[in-house]
A = this chain, B = another copy of it.
Amino acid sequence: MIKLLLAEDHHLVRGAFVALLGAEPGIEVVAETGRGDEAVRLAVELRPDVAMLDIDMPGLDGLAAAERIAQEAPGCRVMIVTAHGRPGYLRRAMAAGVRGFVGKDNSAAALAKVIKQVHDGGRYIDPELAADALTMEECPLTPRELDTLRAASGGAPVSRIARELSLSEGTVRNYLSSAVTKLAVENRHAAVRRARDMGWL
């Protein structure tokens, strides 16, 4: 019997997952939560065989939670289920030692199969998402450029970004400009959008 920890922020979807996977022979849902930090705590406490995490959750996002679980509950295998096929997410997940990565576009049967595969020490990456990630170049932005993009994401003016990061306005403009060039877009707002779409932000 595979002991499964389930983390997904929407009650309804989570409840549906529990119903679905609870019916699956060989799988037992031992805990469920809607928060990432909560998921880490439960993984440490209950030591499930597999933790299945959504990405966007309050408290701690699924990728960060995966990293923490890998450190604090090493026996627990982690898989990510997400609606957003951002290529960068897959990269981060791999770096965190995640063993399964599937989109919410898959069938329930496929999901159960992946859970078992992951439990048996295997790996499974959604082929479509994997293709995206492989054909895609590495994030070309430097840490500083990412910082400024992040700070600019709310539409904040350069002056505020500069204050926030304790930089001169000129410097901020430079980083943004260089990000815009690298991403081949027209201005920083488009750059923010693009970086976010890629899962880099």
A residues adjacent to B (C-beta < 8 A): 10-13, 15-17, 19-20, 23, 81, 83, 103-108, 111, 154-157, 185-193
Give the shortest distance, in Å, between A81 (CB) and chain B (any CB). Answer: 7
Residue of B nearest to A108 (CB): B15
Cβ–Cβ < 8 Å partners of A83 in chain B:
10
A81, A105, A191, A192 — most chain B CB neighbours (10 Å) = A105
Shortest Cβ-Cβ A-B pairs, 10 listed: A155-B190, A16-B16, A155-B189, A10-B104, A15-B108, A12-B104, A189-B189, A16-B20, A19-B20, A11-B105
Provide the bound-state CA to CA distance between A15 and B16, in Å.
Answer: 9
Cβ–Cβ < 8 Å partners of A190 in chain B:
154-156
Give the shortest distance, in Å, between A161 (CB) and chain B (any CB). Answer: 12
Contact A108 B187 (CB under 8 A): no
Cβ–Cβ < 8 Å partners of A16 in chain B:
13, 16-17, 19-20, 108
